Structure 1
Amino acid sequence: MGREGDSGGGGVQSVMRALQIMNVIADTGAPCGLSELATATGLPIATIHRLLRTLINAGMLRQEPDRRYALGSALIHLGDQALTMIAPLIRPHLATLVEALGETANAARLEGTHIVYLAQVSSRHQMRMFIEVGRRVEAYRTAVGKAMLAQLDDRVIADVYANTEFVAATPTSITSLDDLLRELRAVRTNGFATDDGEQEIGVRCVAVAVPGPPGTLALSVSGPTARINDSLVAQAVPLLQQSSSMIAAATRAAHTGLPAPRAHR
């Protein structure tokens, strides 16, 4: 491992270990216990305990009543700023989707039981979708929301929606936790999510999650139901997956200083 405090790869050992712990919790998508963290990281319990105290004091983690550890509120500000900074990386990929499919492309993130739209490139059609960047919508009514929720365990979903009243915005909206869990299982199987007029009558949307921490980002293509037919959905899914992978790579590159992959034209 090199000198004490040195990771042997040009980094500080304690910082790398702290980041490792936070990444384990983020990738799990649920609070973790001390033994779970020890198993996942291979670090000694005493070391993990010391790092946990430091991270809690900094607001990066919090301890739940059942003594498990979850990501802390201090990370919200960092996440907000990170997503704001990568918005310019997202838009070229959305523009590529619009060019290929002719429909509006969107990017959104998950905030609790809501999604927040981060970026949009509009279709050139006279009748097209327009969603204000920054708008918050119930996640269970949207394709992007379901794509991100599907990355979480059913147990986590049940906890998140334990006290939520499902309100139907349209006749096709999801109205119960059981229906949501059934829908999310289908999303995991299919590799994409759809919204068939669940937020707004006459509007259809298809979405995939961007690889990375659950709920960080999802991309979608949306438009009138008459144009977003099954054939277009089949065409859109691989393009959305390709764009999502490129955005994930671009985000990693932005954090490491390496050149980012460019959107295909």
Structure 2
Amino acid sequence: MAEKASGGVQSVERAFELLELITKAGGQVTLSELSSFTTLPLPTIHRLLRTLVSLGYVRQLPNRRYSLGPSLIRLGEVANKQLGTLARPYLKELVDTLGESANMALLDSDMVVYVAQVPSPHSMRMFTEVGRRAHTHDTGVGKAILAQLEPETVRSIVTSAGMPTPTPKSISSLKDLEAELARIRERGYSIDEEEQELGVRCFAMAVPDAPTPMAVSVSGPTTRVDSAFAERAVPLLREAAERISKELNAAA
């Protein structure tokens, strides 16, 4: 507790509090808005923002609003790579056992970004490039993540990103999505039923107690990824998600 009372550590905590508040506000805030979100004195907020701007972690826009800065992108890219490295052994176990491609993705603003993949050994397989961004409403990982969030957060994400329909089976309305998320919460996993690509089915599960919303999945052609496959895959997905969660929290 002595360390927490020191000025340096307290300043770091306060700086990260401001970054988190800007993030929760959608990436842009005014000084007065920040002041209303926190108990920090206005001069302290202004001093911290000035420091964060000088380091590139915050930008001041022409309209005087503050937004997250470009230096955070570099940190995020490195963090994503580390998450991918951590998850890869568990994804490989899924592929070795099930024979289909395995992925991990996390929520990035109003989209999901894939941070790790181990491809299937089959010549006909599902391949997703690491770093690819995708919508939440029509992907297995996206729906698994949305099912863990509050309804107002889901509405905000979908309103911001939109709901394109890449296939005739894609969910196209918030009402249908909310019904689907209720089913996911009840059974504990999500299914992309040819919603991203015709002929491809995906089973996904959220990583519990993760520091940021994330999910793991297995996917492949519907001819191989069927109900019998699901009976084998779902328990293994749950085990992988729990093991990833345990390792993430042990490293925290």
TM-score with structure 1 setting the length: 0.72
Amino-acid identity (%): 41
Asked if the contact 1:104/1:120 (under 8 Å) is kept, the reply is yes
Structure 2 residue 117 is matched with structure 1 residue 129 = no
2:211 to 210, 213, 220: 213
Shift in alpha-carbon separation, 1:22–1:125, aligned structure 2, 3 A: farther
Give distance in 1, aligned partners of 2:90 and 2:241.
8
Which residue identity does 1:209 align to in structure 2?
Answer: A
Give distance in 1, aligned partners of 2:13 and 2:221.
47
Give distance in 2, aligned partners of 1:22 and 1:46.
10
The 10-residue stretch of structure 1 (50-59 or 81-90) with the greater mean CA deviation from structure 2: 50-59
2:242 to 218, 242, 245: 245
SS of the aligned residue for 1:171 comes to coil
| Equivalent residue, structure 2, for 1:42 | none
Shift in alpha-carbon separation, 1:22–1:179, aligned structure 2, 3 A: farther
Unaligned runs of 5+ in 1: 39-44, 63-69, 256-265
1:221-236 matches, within 5 Å, as 221-236=218-233
Deviation at 1:71, TM superposition (A): 9.3
Asked if the contact 1:56/1:72 (under 8 Å) is kept, the reply is no
Give distance in 1, aligned partners of 2:67 and 2:236.
32
Paired positions, count? 235
Q: Map Cα deviations across residues 191-217 of structure 1 (whole Å, 9 max, x no partner).
A: 2111000011111001112231343x3
Q: State the superposition RMSD in angstroms.
A: 3.5
| Equivalent residue, structure 2, for 1:117 | 114
Which residue identity does 2:109 align to in structure 1?
Answer: G
Unaligned runs of 5+ in 2: 27-32, 60-65
Structure 2 residue 95 is matched with structure 1 residue 104 = no
Which residue identity does 1:230 align to in structure 2?
Answer: S
Give distance in 2, aligned partners of 1:71 and 1:184.
31
1:162-201 matches, within 5 Å, as 162-201=159-198
Give distance in 2, aligned partners of 1:196 and 1:36.
44
Which residue identity does 2:187 align to in structure 1?
Answer: N
Normalized per residue, the structure richer in helix is 2
Give distance in 2, aligned partners of 1:4 and 1:220.
40
Shift in alpha-carbon separation, 1:231–1:56, aligned structure 2, 3 A: farther
Q: Map Cα deviations across residues 167-192 of structure 1 (whole Å, 9 max, x no partner).
A: 22111101112222222222223221
| Equivalent residue, structure 2, for 1:144 | 141
Deviation at 1:136, TM superposition (A): 2.4
Asked if the contact 1:30/1:156 (under 8 Å) is kept, the reply is no
